[in-house]
Structure 1
């Protein structure tokens, strides 16, 4: 539940200009996630979400630049807790996630900067990863299994 909630928080912040915790809480409720203010506050802290000045001169939540080991560790936690299945089809890797978690999983794949990835596309609960070579797709599946099984 926590992984799905935190993945949804990341998705919302990337998609909308969210100014307050209450506004974020309402957007979570719209997606069927009821969360207490104290829990939301902890999630914001754990995910290292910051406030930045928007183009409209208002402060909004933003995902901080991923450069800390702590953030990477949290993203790895969300990633490993949200994956339901992984399948390789030729040069593609298809990952099924919990509802609302595919974009967060895609962000983690992008952050890990695996060799040979031509691109990723993430929907609500499915992510497609195109690799340049079929052998690279096999290696990616192996690496993802290592991550989620640790």
Structure 2
């Protein structure tokens, strides 16, 4: 129940403007969850939700931002230019071929950047399997990779 409720909270915060715990509790009740303010408060803390400015003199709940340093992106660009020989895709999967021994470093750099379209990576010696969240995300991922190689 807790996992379903917290998943719903994340969905609500992404889709609606939720300014207070009371608004969140009401939205959860409308979605069929019987919650108290104390439960909502604990969920907010566990999920790491933050309040961000919204309009004039107002705040709303939001998901915490994952900050990616410029150095992480530059490292990935360098690794791509130096080690990636090719890549191809099928459905929501992307296969990257690298120089021998380089796949794990490139995959680690991809994971470090944490592209939201990428569910995960698996690396061998010279091959990386990237799982995209869905096949509609693949062109966006490939466009980024194309930029890294230019």
TM-score, with length taken from structure 1:
0.50
Q: Distance in 1 between matches of 2:82 and 2:120?
A: 23
Q: 1:51-130 counterparts in 2 under 5 A? A: 69-70=70-71, 72-130=73-131
> Is 1:91–1:134's contact at 8 Å kept on the other side of the alignment?
yes
Deviating beyond 6 angstroms after TM superposition, the runs of 4 or more aligned structure 1 residues are none
Larger relative contact order (Cα-Cα within 8 Å, sequence gap ≥ 6): 1
> Is 2:86–2:97's contact at 8 Å kept on the other side of the alignment?
yes
Per-residue CA deviation, residues 35-84 of structure 1 (Å, 9 max, x unaligned), is: xxxxxxxxxxxxxxxxxxxxxxxxxxxxxxxx764465344312321000
Q: Distance in 2 between matches of 1:70 and 1:123?
A: 24
Q: Distance in 2 between matches of 1:143 and 1:78?
A: 14
**Count of aligned pairs between the two proteins:** 84
The range that moved more, 89-98 or 72-81, is 72-81
> Is 1:79–1:104's contact at 8 Å kept on the other side of the alignment?
no
- Consecutive unaligned residues of structure 1, counting only runs of 5 or more, are 1-66
Distance 1:136 1:79, change over 3 A: same
TM-score, with length taken from structure 2:
0.50
- Consecutive unaligned residues of structure 2, counting only runs of 5 or more, are 1-67
1:140 aligns with 2:124: no
